Structure 1
Amino acid sequence: MLSMGGDQVEEAAAHAAKVLRTAVGRDWSVKAAGLDGSCLKTAEHVAGCLVAYAGQLTGRATDTWVPFEIAFDEGSGPGDAISVIESTAGLLSAVVRTTPPGVRGFHPYPSGSADAVGFAAMGVAELLLHTYDIAQALGVDAQPPADLCEAVLARIFPQVTPARAPEDQWATLLWATGRVSLAGRPKVESWRWHNALWVPAGRLVLREVSPAAAADLAAGGTGGLTWIEGGPYEGTRRAAEMVTKAYASGVHRPEWGMFALVRAEDEVAVGGMGFHGPPDEEGVAEVGYDLAPAARGRGYASEALASLSAWALPRPGVSALLALIEPENTPSQAVATRAGYTRTPDRENLHAYLRKA
C-alpha cells in the first residue's frame, strides 16, 4: 500500500530541508513562484500549516480551526526558517503516529473533517509544493521522491488520473495544483484536495476508501483497517478492485466509490458498502454491500444502507439509488427493504430495489 503517516511527513521534511539549505545564501525576500508572499513568508506558512494540522488533531477540533498560529521571531533568516519547518514537521509526525484511528479534526475540504492520515497527506503536500515554490524563485532544484508524490495523489487527489510512470508522479502533482501544464490534460485553474468522507451510521461509521487503501484491499491487504474475523469478505475485495481500476483509468469520482463499515465502539471493520460509480444520466446510482460472515444478522447492513442513502439522495443530480440482488439472496433483499428500498421490475435476471429522492 502507498503508506501515509508520520514517516512520510518526516521524509518530506527532510527533502524540504535538503533543498532549501542549498539556497540559504540567496535572497529570500523575493516572492515565491506563483505566490504573493516572499520565500521567507512562504516558509513561515508551511510551518504554520504543519503545527496547525497537529493542533487540529490534538485539540479534537470539530467545527472550526483551533484559534492560534505561529510566526518567526523578528530577524529570523533562511536557516532559522528551515529549522522551524523541521521542528513543526516533527510535531505533526508525532501527533499522527499517536492519534487513535477514530479521531478526526476540523478541515473544510470537502466535508468538514480529516483523520490523521488525511492531515499527514496535507502536511506532505504543503512541504513538497511550497518547497517547489521557494526553490523556483531561488533557482534551485526541488524534485522530491516519486513515492511521496504518488501517495499524496492517491490519498487526497483521488479525482486526478494517476501518472503511469514513477518519473511522472511529481509533474502530475504539480499539474493537479495548477503549477504546471501537462500535454493532454486541461490546465487547472482552481483546485482543492479531497479528504475521505465519513458518514455516521448508528453503531457504524462509513469511511470512504481512498484509491491507495482500495489497491491494498484488492491485493489481499487490510486497507489500513482492523477487520472482524473472516473479513474483508470477497465482495469487499471485488469492490476495492473496482475502485482501483476506476482510479487507474481516470473515471473514479470521490464519494461515489467504496466505504468501509467500521464499528464506532471498537474501530473494527465489518464490511464494505458503496456505489458502482457516480449517478448515470438519469441520476440513478447503483449501490452494493457486503458483510463479513461474523458480522451478519446484527442489523449492520440495514443501518449503514439507510444512512448512506440518506446522505446520497439529497446530492445534486441524484434521482434514485438502485440495488440489484440475486434472487436467492433473501438476506440482502431484506436489507434493502429495511433501508427504505422498494421492489421494482427485475433487471437482467436480478431483483431490483429502488429508493427515490
Structure 2
Amino acid sequence: MEEAVASCLALLRTTTDRDWDEVGAGRLEWSCRYTAEHIADDLISYAGQLAGRAQHTYLPFELTLDDGTDNSGVLDVIEAMGTLLAAAVRATPREVRAFHPFPFRSANREGFAAMGIAEVLLHTHDIAEGLGLEYQPAPELPEFVLGRIFPHIRPAADHWRTLLWATGRGELPGRAPVTDWRWNNNLVHTTDRLTLQGITPGAAGNLVSGGDGGFEWIEGGPYMGTRESATFLLKAYASGVHRPEFGVFALVRREDGRAVGGMGFHGVPDEEGRAEIGYDLVEGARGQGYATEALRALAQWALARDDVRTVFATVERDNLASQAVVTRAGFRKVSEDGEEFAYELTR
C-alpha cells in the first residue's frame, strides 16, 4: 500500500501548480482534482470498513476536505489515508471479513489491500493521462492486484497493461476492449465448524512454491493434494478459464482460524451440468467429520445453481475413509472403473 501511494505522490507532486479542476482525468467524466480526492476517500473508506468490522453496508461517513485546500493538501491527505489503510490491514486478523458489495458481499484484509492499491494505481493513471504525464508503477503492484481481485482475468506478460485493459483503460493484442468490469473478491462458505475460503491465484502461487498460501495450518499442512490443486488453479488462471466460485477452498476451523485441508472443483460444470469435486485433509484433522461437513455444504451450494445438476467425485478403491465421507454427505456410488469408484449427488 505504501509503495502504491508513494508512486502516486512522486508523480503528482510535480504538477501541484496546475489547475486540476479544469482538466479531465483520462477517460473518466471527473476532473483531476475530484479524482485525487476520490482516491483519498476510497482509502479511508476501506480502512473504516476493516477497522469497524462493517458487515452489512458501508459505514455512514465520507471524507470532506476544508475549503481552500490546495493540490498539495489533497496529496497530503492521500498519504495519510494510505497510511491508515495500511495500518488497518496490518492490525486486522486474517479471519476477519468486512462488507464490500462485489461480488460476494465481503472481503478480507488482503482483498481490501488489493482494492486500495487498485484505486491508487488506476486513478493515478487517470490523472496522469489527463495531465499528459507518463505513469508506470512497480510491476509487482498490478501483479498483486490481478492475483487477488481479478482471478477471472488471464494475465499477460505485462501486468500493468493487463490491469489497464481489464478496467477499460487500455488495449491488449488479441483481446476485445473492456466496457464493463468489476473486481472479484474471494468467495467464502460457512458451516457450523468451518469456513471454506476461496484460494486466490496469488495464494495458489505461494502454495505451489512451498508456502502456506496466507493461511495458518495445523501441523503437517498443507497436505500434498492442496498444493496439487493449487497447481491446477494456476494453470486455469494462466489460461483465462479459472472461475473462482468453482475453484479451490481452504477448510479453516472457526474455533481457532487454522486451516485443516482443501476442497474444490476440477473446473466449471460441463454442458450436462456435471461438476467434479475433490478434497484432502491434513492427517491431524482426519476422523473428525470436517471433510463430510465441508463436502455437504459445497455440494449443496453447487446444486442450488442453475448450471449444476450433478456433483460427482472419484475415490480410490482402497480409500475406505474417503468412501465413507462421500456416503455420509449423501453421494451414491454409480460405477466402478479399475481402481476407482465414482459417486454422484444429484439435484
The TM-score with structure 1 as length reference comes to 0.95
Q: Does structure 1 residue 90 correspond to structure 2 residue 80?
A: no
Note the C-alpha offset of 1:347.
4.7
CA distance in 1, matches of 2:306, 2:75: 45
Aligned-partner residue type, residue 112 of structure 1: R
- Equivalent of 1:290 in 280, 283, 286: 280
8 Å CA contact retained: 1:27, 1:138: no
Partner of 1:301: 291
Q: Does structure 1 residue 328 correspond to structure 2 residue 321?
A: no
Aligned-partner residue type, residue 190 of structure 2: P
- Equivalent of 2:179 in 182, 189, 210: 189
Structure 2, unaligned stretches of length 5 or more? Answer: none
Residue pairs, 1:34-183, within 5 angstroms:
34-164=27-157, 168-183=158-173
Aligned residue pairs, count? 346
CA distance in 1, matches of 2:145, 2:159: 10
Q: Which is worse superposed, 241-250 or 104-113?
A: 241-250
Q: Secondary structure at the match of 2:104?
A: coil
Partner of 1:11: 3
Aligned-partner residue type, residue 162 of structure 1: P
- Equivalent of 2:241 in 248, 251, 256: 251
Q: Which is worse superposed, 307-316 or 258-267?
A: 307-316
8 Å CA contact retained: 1:118, 1:156: yes
> Higher relative contact order by CA 8 Å / sep ≥ 6: 1 or 2?
1
Q: Does structure 1 residue 22 correspond to structure 2 residue 9?
A: no
CA distance in 1, matches of 2:174, 2:138: 24
Q: Secondary structure at the match of 1:70?
A: coil
8 Å CA contact retained: 1:23, 1:140: no
Show CA shifts across 1:16-49 (max 9, x none): 1111112212220122111122111111111111
Note the C-alpha offset of 1:348.
6.0
CA distance in 2, matches of 1:37, 1:76: 18
Show CA shifts across 1:113-170 (max 9, x none): 0000000000000000000000100111111010101110011001111123xxx111
- Equivalent of 2:210 in 199, 220, 229: 220
The TM-score with structure 2 as length reference comes to 0.98
Q: Secondary structure at the match of 2:345?
A: strand
What percentage of aligned pairs have identical amino acids? 55
CA distance in 2, matches of 1:315, 1:15: 43
Aligned-partner residue type, residue 240 of structure 1: A
Structure 1, unaligned stretches of length 5 or more? Answer: 1-8
RMSD: 1.0
Aligned-partner residue type, residue 21 of structure 1: R
8 Å CA contact retained: 1:46, 1:126: yes
Partner of 1:236: 226
Aligned-partner residue type, residue 212 of structure 1: G
